[in-house]
Each structure stands twice: as C-alpha cells, then as structure tokens.
A and B are shown apart, each in its own frame.
Chain A
Amino acid sequence: AQRVTQPEKLLSVFKGAPVELKCNYSYSGSPELFWYVQYSRQRLQLLLRHISRESIKGFTADLNKGETSFHLKKPFAQEEDSAMYYCALSSGGGSNYKLTFGKGTLLTVNP
C-alpha cells in the first residue's frame, strides 16, 4: 500500500530563515509526487509537481528515490508563506490517479 509521511505537524520559523518541510513516501511503482498548499480556509492549490522541476514562489523540491523523499525547501521564508502544506502521491492510471496525502505540516513564518 502506498503511504505518505510528513513527520512535522507544526513548523515555525522566522522571516528570512530557510525552511524545509519533510515528506517521505512508500510506493512500489514509479511515484508521481506533488506539494499542495492551503492558505487559511481556502481550497488546496498545487505548489509543485516533481516532474516539472519548477521553482514556484521560491520553493523547490527534489525527488530522491534512494531515500524515498520529496522534501520542500525555500531558502528565505516570507510571512505570506504561512499555510498548511500537504505532500501527495499519485497512484497512476492503473488506479485512476488517486492521490494519497500526508497529514500536512502547518508552517508559521514569524516576523
């Protein structure tokens, strides 16, 4: 069975500090991984998708198949980054592209 683990429920940093949100996964196939962000009481929005290798809002994430990780990083956190972040894994077409989510990390960036 596939699983996504986000070990930190809460993460608090100061503005300008680096931030890393951890995500580990278990999956027997070739994973497709995503980071979603949810600002207060809003819908989930896609932040990053591993195959696109983009940097969005200064965030990057690299898939490490050896360590089965997809950690989210930003070198200088901003107050507007305060939000809930979810790591998610897609099961692929054979399983109708269902997403399995981690439990989320609430990031607070203090002034």
Chain B
Amino acid sequence: DAGITQSPRHKVTETGTPVTLRCHQTENHRYMYWYRQDPGHGLRLIHYSYGVKDTDKGEVSDGYSVSRSKTEDFLLTLESATSSQTSVYFCAIRPTSGVTYFGPGTRLTVT
C-alpha cells in the first residue's frame, strides 16, 4: 500500500459545513496529490504539493484548499461543502521510482 493512509474513510456531512480530509504517508516522499473520482469523469486533480508548504492548484480546485505543514501529512479542506463535492477522494504520492501510488480513498457524501 506504499504506506499511504487516508482518514476518515467514510463521511457524511451537511451542505455548508467545512470538512477536512487527511492523507498520511510513512516514507517522506516529496510529491503528494489529491484527486477526486466521479463516474464519467475518471480522476481529476484537485491540488498537489511538491514539498512542505509548497502547494498548487489542479484542474478542479474551486471550493478546496490544502495544507502541508509536515512532509508526511497533506490535508484537503472543503471550505463549505456542497452536494457537487460528493465524491470519492484519493490521495497519492510519487516516489523517485516514478510510479504514483494511491491511498485507499475517502467516500464523502454531502447531504
């Protein structure tokens, strides 16, 4: 599993509430990514990080923010959850081997 964990694994929340998802890696890799997976869209990049405090936007970043204060943790925050953010969220890391590895996913439902 490349030492990647995500928490929580499942969450149901109400529209308008803030939500934070956590990605944790055990091997101190530089690159970390947040993707969302939706039927008919595949996986789309939300935000990514190339080091502590170094982050940038991906393809679908509106309504999301991230933080990386430690190498091992990459947090994704939905500032005010909307129903369109109901999705499965995957964290990923990229070691120097050149292969991107994915976490187990977080299934988020916004009611």
Known A96-B56, A97-B31: A43·B42 in contact at CB below 8 Å: no
Given the known A-B contacts A96-B31, A96-B48, are A49 and B98 also in contact in the complex, defined by CB atoms under 8 Å? Answer: yes
Task: Please determine whether A101 and B94 come into contact, CB atoms closer than 8 angstroms.
Answer: no
Chain A nearest Cβ from B50, distance in angstroms: 5
B52 contacts the other chain (CB 8 A): no
Which B residue's beta carbon lies closest to that of A96? B50
User: Could you tell me the distance between the alpha carbons of A46 and B102 in the complex, rounded to whole angstroms?
Assistant: 9
* Given known contacts A96-B48, A98-B58, A99-B45, A43 and B102 CB-to-CB distance under 8 angstroms: yes
Binary flags per residue of A42-71, CB closer than 8 Å to B gives 1, else 0? 111110010100000000000000000000
B50 touches A103 (CB 8 A): no
Chain A hits for B105, CB < 8 A: 43
Chain A interface bracket (under 10, 10 to 19, 20 to 34, 35 or more): 20 to 34
Q: Which of A52-107 contact B (CB under 8 A)?
A: 86, 88, 90, 96-104
Determine whether the beta carbon of A43 is less than 8 Å from that of B103: yes
Interface contacts (Cβ under 8 Å), in number, total 55
Interface residues of B in 17-60 (CB under 8 A from A): 31, 33, 35, 40-45, 48, 50, 56, 58
Chain B residues lying within 8 Å of A104, measured Cβ to Cβ, are: 42
Nearest Cβ in chain B — how far from A56, in angstroms? 12
Interface string of B72-111 (1 = CB under 8 A from A): 0000000000000000001010100011111111000000
Docked CA distance A46–B90 (Å)? 14
Nearest CB in chain B: distance from A69 CB, A: 18
21 A-B contacts, Cβ less than 8 Å apart? A32-B98, A34-B100, A43-B90, A43-B103, A44-B43, A44-B102, A45-B102, A46-B99, A86-B42, A86-B43, A88-B100, A90-B98, A90-B100, A97-B31, A97-B98, A98-B48, A99-B45, A99-B100, A101-B43, A103-B40, A103-B41
Residues of chain A contacted by B103 (CB below 8 angstroms) = 43
